[in-house]
Amino acid sequence: MGWTETRFRAAAAPTNTVEWMTPKHIIDALGPFDLDPCSPPTRPWPTAALHYTKEDDGLARAWNGLVWMNPPYDRSMKNWMARFAEHNNGIALVNARTETSWFVKSVWPKALALFFPAGRIVFCKPDGSIAHAAGSPSVFVAMGSVARDRLARINLAGQHIAGPLSQDSIALPSPTVPEAAGSLADVRA
């Protein structure tokens, strides 16, 4: 996959590009930001005062200030989210994949707020024109008090969850499995 502000697999994007930009109105509503550690090399609007591109290797560089991060939507997500949680000062826009190991390890224990937008975010092409809706649900993750406060003021339809968050502090329903079932295969049968 290419290096972009937001990435989706080709199956989710019926065009021949994998570069999808966060809409400017979202950056304007939540910013300003000091650093975007995984920025595309060409962008129609700034996402932060300082941008690291793939060539800069944002994971290996120093992170300072309030970070805006929309990381690659691939297997490197766990590395980006671990680094984001370690920095603990910013807002990330990621897939709402709350069951994944990176979400469980990096988001639940550290996030001060989450915002689940209603519907799918409509992303933009690298030239700034409107592309299409995301191929999956998204969530904004706030780390640190400044990010939490900015996320609380977002003017989008959706659900805001204030923290500190942890799987223990959020009442999640327990899965029910028939008592006689010994495996998922037994349940499906």
30-84 pLDDT, tens digit per residue, is 999 999 999 988 899 999 999 999 899 999 999 999 999 999 888 899 999 999 9
CB 92 within 8 A of CB 140: yes
pTM: 0.78
Per-residue confidence (pLDDT) for residue 163, from 0 to 100: 78
Q: pLDDT band at 19, cuts 50/70/90?
A: low
- The Cα–Cα gap between 126 and 21 comes to 6
- The Cα–Cα gap between 131 and 10 comes to 13
Q: Which residues contact 74 (CB under 8 A, 6 or more apart)?
A: 1, 7
pLDDT(17) > 60: no
Portion of the chain with pLDDT greater than 70, in percent: 77
Q: Which residues of 157-181 are buried (b: 16+ CB within 10 A; e: fewer)?
A: eeeeeebebeeeeeeeeeeeeeeee
DSSP 22: P
Better-predicted residue by pLDDT, 149 or 172? 149
